[in-house]
């Protein structure tokens, strides 16, 4: 059978639902974010036409070139690092930001979020692997940062996000377990977090075992990315 985008989408949805049931989780509590970076608006439209609503983008400029050609009912998740000169575009056009880790960016996003829109839904990015090339806060810095986010009126703190290492199963699962523990610990300290954003094409199955509520899947849906053509 031809391996089309539509086919991959239907297969992935089925696999997610089956995997959820196998670990006693409700499929409707798992949000699939289709990560469309480097892929054209027509691919996003094709998945939209099949019912997909949540899409993730990393590069603000690239996303802006696509966003105005696509349906308004798309829920946009920003999952890449945000420079301060791009916060306005994000505050005005995104629904979610998964990658908060700097006070200055958080403050600008809150200030620039239009008052006629609901608050921006945000997650704090945790550098769970400790790799220096990765973004995010160390686990020990998260509590204080979450307290700060709660003071910003146009941000709604929803949870935590992480990118696990590209490593063996045991290492990745240890990182995911730490994320889950941090998530529980924050809720025990009075935060009402309902979002644990972790899991990508190569490790989403493990992420579901460790309580991920939002999985961000790119290449397993859209195919291999070609950064040169971006
Ligand atoms: C690109 C990206 C993804 C999707 O990665 P795939 O391995 O293609 O599924 C998920 N999360 C983040 C933060 C990304 O940058």
DSSP result, 76-101: EEE-S---GGGHHHHHHH-SEEEEE-
Residue 219 CA, closest ligand 1 atom number: 8
Distance 29 CA to ligand 1 centre (A): 20
Stretch 60-73: mean pLDDT: 96
Q: Is 180's pLDDT higher than 70?
A: yes
Under CATH, what is the fold of the domain 5-223?
TIM Barrel (3.20.20)
How far CA 4 is from CA of 29, 208, 221, in Å, comes to 27, 25, 9
Measured between alpha carbons, how far is 69 from 75 in angstroms, rounded to an integer? Answer: 14
Radius of gyration of the chain (CA): 17
- Characterize 45-78 residue by residue with b for buried, 16 or more Cβ atoms within 10 angstroms of its Cβ, and e for exposed: ebbbeeebebbbbbebebbeebbeebeeebebbb
Contacts of 219 (CB under 8 A, 6+ apart): 201, 225
Locate the DSSP E strands across the chain. Answer: 31-35, 54-57, 75-78, 96-100, 120-126, 155-162, 195-197, 214-217
Ligand 1 centre and the CA of 92: distance in Å? 23
Q: Burial code of 173-199, b = ≥16 C-beta within 10 A, e = fewer?
A: bbbbebbbebbeebeeeebebebbbbb
**Burial class of 2 by CB neighbour count within 10 A (0 to 12, 13 to 18, 19+):** exposed
Give residue-wise pLDDT tens across range 155-168: 999 999 999 999 99
Residue nearest to atom 13 of ligand 1 (CA): 79
**Which residues surround ligand 1 with Cβ inside 6 Å?**
35, 37, 58, 79, 163, 200-202, 216-220
- 40-63 tens-digit pLDDT: 999 999 999 999 999 999 999 999
Q: Please, what sign has the CA dihedral across residues 75, 135, 201, 173? A: negative
Of all protein residues, whose CA lies closest to atom 7 belonging to ligand 1? 201
Model pLDDT, residue 229 = 52
Q: What is the pLDDT of residue 1?
A: 46
**Ligand 1 centroid – CA 190 distance (Å):** 30
Distance 222 CA to ligand 1 centre (A): 11
| Residue closest to 183 by CA, chosen among 173, 197, 200 | 197
Angle at 220 between CA 87 and CA 203, to 5 degrees: 85
Compute, in angstroms, the gap from residue 12 CA to the centroid of ligand 1.
Answer: 15
What would the two tokens of residue 95 be? 């629904």
Chain mean pLDDT for the chain: 96
């Amino acid at each position: 059978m031809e391996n089309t985008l539509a086919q991959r989408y239907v297969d992935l949805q089925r696999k997610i639902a089956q995997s959820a049931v196998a670990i006693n989780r409700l499929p409707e509590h798992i949000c699939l974010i289709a990560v469309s970076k480097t892929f054209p608006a027509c691919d996003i439209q094709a998945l939209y036409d099949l019912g997909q609503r949540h899409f993730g983008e990393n590069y603000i400029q690239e996303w802006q070139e696509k966003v105005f050609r696509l349906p308004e009912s798309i829920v946009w998740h920003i999952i890449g690092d945000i420079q301060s000169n791009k916060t306005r575009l994000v505050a005005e056009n995104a629904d979610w930001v998964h990658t908060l880790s700097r006070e200055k960016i958080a403050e600008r996003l809150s200030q620039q979020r239009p008052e006629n829109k609901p608050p921006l839904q945000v997650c704090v990015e945790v550098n769970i692997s400790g790799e220096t090339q990765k973004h995010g806060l160390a686990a020990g810095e998260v509590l204080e940062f979450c307290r700060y986010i709660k003071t910003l009126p146009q941000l709604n703190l929803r949870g935590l996000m992480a990118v696990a290492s590209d490593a063996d199963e045991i290492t990745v699962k240890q990182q995911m377990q730490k994320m889950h523990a941090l998530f529980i610990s924050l809720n025990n300290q009075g935060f009402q977090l309902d979002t644990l954003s972790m899991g990508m094409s190569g490790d989403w199955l493990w992420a579901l075992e460790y309580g991920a509520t939002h999985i961000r899947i790119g290449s397993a849906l859209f195919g291999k990315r070609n950064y040169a053509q971006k």
